[in-house]
Protein backbone atom coordinates (compact mmCIF):
# COMPACT_ATOMS: atom_id res chain seq x y z
CA UNK A 1 0.00 0.00 0.00
CA UNK A 2 1.45 3.39 -0.94
CA UNK A 3 0.73 6.70 0.74
CA UNK A 4 -2.68 7.69 -0.50
CA UNK A 5 -4.54 4.45 0.29
CA UNK A 6 -8.21 3.50 -0.03
CA UNK A 7 -9.37 2.64 3.50
CA UNK A 8 -12.70 1.64 5.00
CA UNK A 9 -13.28 2.07 8.74
CA UNK A 10 -16.03 -0.03 10.34
CA UNK A 11 -17.40 -0.13 13.87
CA UNK A 12 -20.54 0.46 15.87
CA UNK A 13 -21.91 3.97 16.11
CA UNK A 14 -20.05 5.66 18.95
CA UNK A 15 -16.92 3.55 18.48
CA UNK A 16 -14.90 6.67 17.69
CA UNK A 17 -14.72 6.23 13.93
CA UNK A 18 -15.05 9.93 13.17
CA UNK A 19 -12.20 10.97 15.43
CA UNK A 20 -9.85 8.28 14.16
CA UNK A 21 -10.79 8.77 10.50
CA UNK A 22 -9.84 12.44 10.71
CA UNK A 23 -6.49 11.46 12.21
CA UNK A 24 -5.90 8.79 9.58
CA UNK A 25 -6.74 11.22 6.78
CA UNK A 26 -4.10 13.63 8.08
CA UNK A 27 -1.57 10.84 8.57
CA UNK A 28 -2.03 9.52 5.02
CA UNK A 29 -2.78 12.89 3.35
CA UNK A 30 -6.11 11.70 1.93
CA UNK A 31 -9.68 12.99 2.47
CA UNK A 32 -11.96 11.77 5.23
CA UNK A 33 -15.30 10.95 3.62
CA UNK A 34 -18.06 10.70 6.22
CA UNK A 35 -21.50 9.74 4.99
CA UNK A 36 -22.92 10.89 8.33
CA UNK A 37 -21.47 14.37 7.87
CA UNK A 38 -22.80 14.55 4.32
CA UNK A 39 -26.25 13.43 5.47
CA UNK A 40 -26.40 15.87 8.38
CA UNK A 41 -25.29 18.73 6.11
CA UNK A 42 -28.14 17.92 3.74
CA UNK A 43 -30.60 17.83 6.65
CA UNK A 44 -29.34 21.17 7.99
CA UNK A 45 -29.55 22.78 4.54
CA UNK A 46 -33.11 21.50 4.13
CA UNK A 47 -32.52 19.96 0.72
CA UNK A 48 -35.02 17.53 -0.74
CA UNK A 49 -32.64 14.68 0.00
CA UNK A 50 -32.04 16.10 3.48
CA UNK A 51 -35.74 16.03 4.32
CA UNK A 52 -36.00 12.43 3.15
CA UNK A 53 -32.84 11.42 5.02
CA UNK A 54 -34.05 13.02 8.26
CA UNK A 55 -37.11 10.77 8.34
CA UNK A 56 -34.86 7.70 8.32
CA UNK A 57 -32.24 9.15 10.68
CA UNK A 58 -34.76 10.23 13.33
CA UNK A 59 -36.13 6.67 13.39
CA UNK A 60 -32.60 5.25 13.65
CA UNK A 61 -33.00 3.48 10.30
CA UNK A 62 -30.49 3.12 7.47
CA UNK A 63 -30.74 5.30 4.36
CA UNK A 64 -31.75 3.20 1.29
CA UNK A 65 -28.78 1.70 -0.59
CA UNK A 66 -29.41 3.38 -3.94
CA UNK A 67 -29.50 6.85 -2.37
CA UNK A 68 -26.37 6.55 -0.25
CA UNK A 69 -24.40 4.74 -2.96
CA UNK A 70 -25.04 7.57 -5.40
CA UNK A 71 -23.79 10.14 -2.91
CA UNK A 72 -20.60 8.17 -2.19
CA UNK A 73 -19.86 7.50 -5.84
CA UNK A 74 -20.09 11.20 -6.66
CA UNK A 75 -17.82 12.09 -3.72
CA UNK A 76 -15.01 9.61 -4.43
CA UNK A 77 -15.00 10.75 -8.07
CA UNK A 78 -13.88 14.22 -6.97
CA UNK A 79 -10.22 15.18 -7.64
CA UNK A 80 -9.10 15.21 -4.01
CA UNK A 81 -10.00 11.52 -3.67
CA UNK A 82 -7.97 10.39 -6.68
CA UNK A 83 -5.07 9.31 -4.45
CA UNK A 84 -7.32 7.57 -1.94
CA UNK A 85 -9.73 8.19 0.92
CA UNK A 86 -10.81 7.13 4.41
CA UNK A 87 -14.44 6.01 4.22
CA UNK A 88 -16.43 6.49 7.42
CA UNK A 89 -20.00 5.16 7.53
CA UNK A 90 -19.90 3.35 4.19
CA UNK A 91 -20.30 0.57 3.25
CA UNK A 92 -22.81 -0.71 5.79
CA UNK A 93 -24.08 -3.75 3.89
CA UNK A 94 -22.53 -6.34 1.61
CA UNK A 95 -24.58 -4.87 -1.25
CA UNK A 96 -22.88 -1.52 -0.64
CA UNK A 97 -19.47 -3.21 -0.33
CA UNK A 98 -19.85 -4.87 -3.73
CA UNK A 99 -20.97 -1.54 -5.21
CA UNK A 100 -17.88 0.12 -3.72
CA UNK A 101 -15.67 -2.45 -5.43
CA UNK A 102 -17.20 -1.39 -8.75
CA UNK A 103 -16.80 2.33 -7.94
CA UNK A 104 -13.04 2.08 -7.37
CA UNK A 105 -12.18 -0.17 -10.33
CA UNK A 106 -9.63 -0.71 -11.78
CA UNK A 107 -8.14 -0.03 -8.34
CA UNK A 108 -9.24 -1.79 -5.15
CA UNK A 109 -9.85 -1.22 -1.45
CA UNK A 110 -6.52 -1.60 0.36
CA UNK A 111 -7.54 -2.21 3.96
CA UNK A 112 -10.64 -2.42 6.18
CA UNK A 113 -10.23 -1.45 9.83
CA UNK A 114 -12.82 -2.58 12.38
CA UNK A 115 -12.87 -0.55 15.60
CA UNK A 116 -13.98 -3.03 18.23
CA UNK A 117 -15.84 -1.42 21.17
CA UNK A 118 -18.36 -3.13 23.53
CA UNK A 119 -22.03 -2.28 22.93
CA UNK A 120 -22.67 -0.98 26.45
CA UNK A 121 -19.77 1.45 26.15
CA UNK A 122 -20.98 2.94 22.85
CA UNK A 123 -24.53 3.18 24.25
CA UNK A 124 -23.18 5.22 27.16
CA UNK A 125 -21.08 7.40 24.85
CA UNK A 126 -23.90 8.18 22.42
CA UNK A 127 -26.65 8.78 24.97
CA UNK A 128 -24.43 11.32 26.77
CA UNK A 129 -23.36 13.09 23.55
CA UNK A 130 -24.45 16.67 22.96
CA UNK A 131 -23.88 18.70 19.76
CA UNK A 132 -23.81 22.40 18.91
CA UNK A 133 -26.87 23.10 16.77
CA UNK A 134 -24.94 25.79 14.87
CA UNK A 135 -21.42 24.53 14.18
CA UNK A 136 -21.72 20.81 15.04
CA UNK A 137 -19.03 20.78 17.77
CA UNK A 138 -19.29 17.71 20.01
CA UNK A 139 -19.67 17.70 23.80
CA UNK A 140 -20.97 15.21 26.37
CA UNK A 141 -22.52 15.10 29.83
CA UNK A 142 -19.03 14.28 31.13
CA UNK A 143 -17.37 17.09 29.11
CA UNK A 144 -19.96 19.85 28.68
CA UNK A 145 -19.34 23.36 27.34
CA UNK A 146 -18.07 25.90 29.85
CA UNK A 147 -21.26 27.99 30.13
CA UNK A 148 -24.89 26.82 30.30
CA UNK A 149 -24.83 24.45 27.31
CA UNK A 150 -23.65 27.22 25.02
CA UNK A 151 -20.99 26.25 22.48
CA UNK A 152 -17.47 27.31 23.47
CA UNK A 153 -16.63 27.84 19.80
CA UNK A 154 -19.52 29.77 18.27
CA UNK A 155 -22.00 30.44 21.08
CA UNK A 156 -24.69 28.23 19.56
CA UNK A 157 -27.12 26.13 21.60
CA UNK A 158 -25.76 22.70 22.58
CA UNK A 159 -28.45 20.02 22.33
CA UNK A 160 -29.03 16.29 22.17
CA UNK A 161 -29.47 15.06 18.59
CA UNK A 162 -32.86 13.39 17.91
CA UNK A 163 -31.03 10.20 16.91
CA UNK A 164 -29.00 10.08 20.17
CA UNK A 165 -31.83 9.04 22.50
CA UNK A 166 -31.45 5.61 24.11
CA UNK A 167 -34.33 4.03 22.17
CA UNK A 168 -33.07 5.24 18.80
CA UNK A 169 -29.48 4.29 19.63
CA UNK A 170 -30.54 0.73 20.51
CA UNK A 171 -32.43 0.56 17.21
CA UNK A 172 -29.30 1.70 15.34
CA UNK A 173 -27.14 -0.87 17.13
CA UNK A 174 -29.65 -3.62 16.33
CA UNK A 175 -29.53 -2.59 12.67
CA UNK A 176 -25.75 -2.64 12.78
CA UNK A 177 -25.74 -6.24 14.00
CA UNK A 178 -28.36 -7.29 11.44
CA UNK A 179 -27.11 -5.47 8.35
CA UNK A 180 -23.56 -4.28 8.86
CA UNK A 181 -21.85 -6.96 10.93
CA UNK A 182 -21.84 -9.40 7.94
CA UNK A 183 -19.35 -7.00 6.33
CA UNK A 184 -16.75 -8.36 8.74
CA UNK A 185 -17.10 -11.78 7.16
CA UNK A 186 -17.22 -10.30 3.65
CA UNK A 187 -13.91 -8.47 4.09
CA UNK A 188 -12.33 -11.19 6.20
CA UNK A 189 -12.88 -13.65 3.34
CA UNK A 190 -10.90 -11.26 1.12
CA UNK A 191 -8.05 -10.92 3.65
CA UNK A 192 -8.69 -7.20 3.92
CA UNK A 193 -9.99 -6.99 7.49
CA UNK A 194 -8.01 -5.92 10.55
CA UNK A 195 -9.71 -5.71 13.95
CA UNK A 196 -8.41 -2.97 16.23
CA UNK A 197 -9.23 -2.49 19.91
CA UNK A 198 -11.17 0.78 20.08
CA UNK A 199 -11.15 1.11 23.87
CA UNK A 200 -8.74 3.69 25.28
CA UNK A 201 -7.74 7.28 24.72
CA UNK A 202 -7.85 8.66 21.16
CA UNK A 203 -4.04 8.64 21.10
CA UNK A 204 -3.87 5.00 22.20
CA UNK A 205 -6.37 3.90 19.56
CA UNK A 206 -4.64 5.92 16.84
CA UNK A 207 -1.33 4.30 17.73
CA UNK A 208 -2.87 0.85 17.18
CA UNK A 209 -4.40 1.92 13.86
CA UNK A 210 -1.15 3.39 12.55
CA UNK A 211 0.69 0.22 13.52
CA UNK A 212 -1.69 -1.86 11.39
CA UNK A 213 -1.67 0.58 8.44
CA UNK A 214 2.12 0.82 8.43
CA UNK A 215 2.49 -2.95 8.61
CA UNK A 216 0.18 -3.47 5.65
CA UNK A 217 2.00 -0.73 3.73
CA UNK A 218 5.34 -2.39 4.40
CA UNK A 219 4.04 -5.78 3.28
CA UNK A 220 2.72 -4.24 0.05
CA UNK A 221 6.00 -2.62 -0.93
Q: State the pairing for strand pair 129-132/138-140.
A: antiparallel
From the candidates 6, 17, 40, 54, which is the catalytic residue?
17
105 is a catalytic site residue: no
Distance (Å) of CA 7 to CA 21, 29, 37:
9, 12, 17
Query: Which distant-in-sequence residues (6+ apart) come within 8 Å of 131 by Cβ?
Result: 137, 138, 139, 158, 159, 160, 161, 164
195 is a catalytic site residue: no
40 is a catalytic site residue: no
From the candidates 6, 12, 40, 92, which is the catalytic residue?
92
129 is a catalytic site residue: yes
- The per-residue b/e assignment along 6-40, b for 16 or more CB within 10 angstroms, e otherwise, is bbbbbbbbbbbbbebbbbbbeebebbbbbbeebbb
172 is a catalytic site residue: yes
From the candidates 83, 161, 195, 208, which is the catalytic residue?
161
From the candidates 23, 54, 75, 172, which is the catalytic residue?
172
Helices (H), 105-201: 119-127, 166-175, 182-189
Report phi then psi at 213, rounded to 5.
-60, -45
Positions annotated as catalytic residues are: 17, 92, 129, 161, 172
Amino acid sequence: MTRGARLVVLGKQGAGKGTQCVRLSHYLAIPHISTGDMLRAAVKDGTEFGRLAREYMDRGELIPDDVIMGIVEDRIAEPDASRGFVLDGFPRTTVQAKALDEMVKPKAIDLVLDLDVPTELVLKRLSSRRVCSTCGANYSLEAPPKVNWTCDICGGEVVQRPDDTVSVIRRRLDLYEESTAPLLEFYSDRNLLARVDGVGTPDEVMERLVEVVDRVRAESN
